[in-house]
Every structure is written in C-alpha cells, then in structure tokens.
Amino acid sequence: MNMSITKGLARSAAIGLVLLSTAGAGRTAEEPGVLPDRSRIATVGGSITEIVYALGEEKALVARDSTSVYPEAALKLPDVGYMRALSPEGVLSVNPSGILALEGSGPKEAVDVLKKASIPLITVPEGFSHEGIVDKIRIVGKALDAEAKAETLAKEVDAQLSAAEALTADIPQAERKRVLFILGMQGGKIMASGSGTAADGIIALAGGVNAVEGFSGYKQLTDEAALTARPDIILMMDREGELAIGDAQVYGSPAIASTPAGQARKLIRMDGAYLLGFGPRTASAVKDLAAALYGDAVKR
C-alpha cells in the first residue's frame, strides 16, 4: 500500500541531509542572546526561518539558506546556499546585520570568515524532540528581542505537540509499528536512519519504533541488516525529478522484498521539510504520520 501524504515543491537532497549531524558552529552557542542589530537578518536552517515567520518577524529577513523552503514567501528571499556548504561571499553579499544559524551550519572556515567580518552570529541548538522544538522557538525569539511573542508561540506548539503525541500514547509497545526510514538508495543500497536523527525523532513522536538500531546518524544497510530490521512500514521523503525513488525500486530491492513492509507493500511518503523540519509545523506532521501508521486506531 502506497500512502502519499504531503506533496509540495520539489525538494533538493539538502532537505534530508540538513539534519544528519549535530555539530554546531557559532560564537554564542553556549548562551544564545539578543542580536544587537536586528534590521537585516539572514537565517540558515529551515526550521529557523519557519520560526521567524511564525513569530511575525519576517520583515527583518534579507536572506535564507536553501533548506528554508517554507513558507512560500521565504522563497522570494535571496538564497545564500546550503547550510553545510555556505559561501562567505554569498552571505556577505546580502549585507546582514546578524545571522541566525541552526546548529551544524558551516563549514567552519566559512563561519570563521563571517566572524572576522564582525557579523553577530547566533547558533540555535538542534534537538529532535518535543522539548527541542520549544527551546528552539524561545531562543529565536530572544535573539530577535521578541520574547513575549516567542513564549506565546512556544506554549501553543507545546500544547499541539502534546496533543499529537497523545494520539498514540495508548498503543501497546508490542503493537507499535516498526518503521524504516530510507534517505536514499544509490546503487540499490539503502541509506537508513539510526538514532540521533530527525527521522528517528519523528518516528518516536508519532508512536512508531525505529526499525534499525545499533548505530547513530545515517548509515548504509546491508541486505542482511535490512531483513533483520523487520520493518512493518517504509518511510521516505516525497521527492521529484532526479532524486525521486520509485515504488518499483523500493519493492524490487532484495533487502526490502522479504520484509513485512515489502511483502505488504506499505510505504509512506511525506514532504521532507515538513517531516524532518522540527519546527512550528511538526505537531501537524506527527499527526499525519501517526494516522498513516495506525489508520483508524488513531482518533484525530
């Protein structure tokens, strides 16, 4: 069964890869504060840009990175490049008065150049959890000197996330779906998500169980490891164009064909930024994923 949930604009591989590591870069990561000049802000990281818009502070934005694809209005801003491969020249060309960057932005050399240019840069910690999203909202709000609005949004998102998690709270552990998130299948090899990833976090919030264990980050699975994982359902980003992975390729994989998911042809596709963003829309993504995993067992 193929369940296609949220389709949007074609996404680049950056949307999936944006959350592959948690290494941060920035001079104020330990104690994020207030940007001294908030008149021309560049945001790096899709969830950071979404939060700025959700706070109603988008008038200060002068640029965003390539992972910032929501809301649609953000696409009209200059693109300074992929958050893990920033060009200092690209960032400096928009003459920002400050930068809000998601943890993991870089490379370090680019960040060092921005520091030497004396541009205040606040790194926003990433956390693939309910609490991580709420903290992120408060940190962005403080950086923009919009703490009151951030507290209101944080409480709203906190309540929405709690309601979304409650949908699957009563499902017994033995009945929870085993989910295999596939990031890519280059050369027929499965790149799957382990612990400490956005995929692992969203699966847990939706009441599922990550089918693979024993490693963190994203790793290529052997056919034997995929079979051992025994996934009930395959979860993937909904992609178009050259990055698309068709159903035939998924089900035709020897590593998938003999699994419960392969036998039952159970595949969920969701928009990458929506599924893995861990921002203001995550509660909605959790509800959608929970409904796809459990159907009528989830009362929305």
CB 214 within 8 A of CB 196: no
CB 279 within 8 A of CB 215: no
d(CA 261, CA 166): 25
In this prediction, residues 183-188 reach a mean pLDDT of 90
Q: Where are the alpha helices (DSSP H) in 117-146?
A: 130-143
Give the per-residue pLDDT at 267: 97
Taking the CA atoms of the chain, what radius of gyration do you get in angstroms?
19
Give the per-residue pLDDT at 244: 82
Give the per-residue pLDDT at 11: 37
Residue 19, pLDDT above cutoff 60: no
d(CA 210, CA 203): 7
Residue-range domains of the chain with CATH = 2-7+170-297 (3.40.50.1980), 13-165 (3.40.50.1980)
Spatial CA neighbour of 127 closest among 52, 196, 212: 196
d(CA 131, CA 154): 10
Computed over every residue of the chain, the mean pLDDT equals 89
Residue 112, pLDDT above cutoff 50: yes
Residue 233, pLDDT above cutoff 70: yes
pTM for the model: 0.88
Residue 269, pLDDT above cutoff 60: yes
* pLDDT per residue as tens digits for the range 167-179: 999 999 999 999 9
d(CA 119, CA 190): 41
Give the per-residue pLDDT at 300: 62
Give the per-residue pLDDT at 29: 35
Residue 149, pLDDT above cutoff 50: yes
Residue 28, pLDDT above cutoff 70: no
In this prediction, residues 226-243 reach a mean pLDDT of 90
In this prediction, residues 216-230 reach a mean pLDDT of 94
How would you classify the pairing of strands 41-44 and 2-6? unpaired
Size of the chain, expressed as the number of residues it contains: 300
CB 65 within 8 A of CB 44: yes
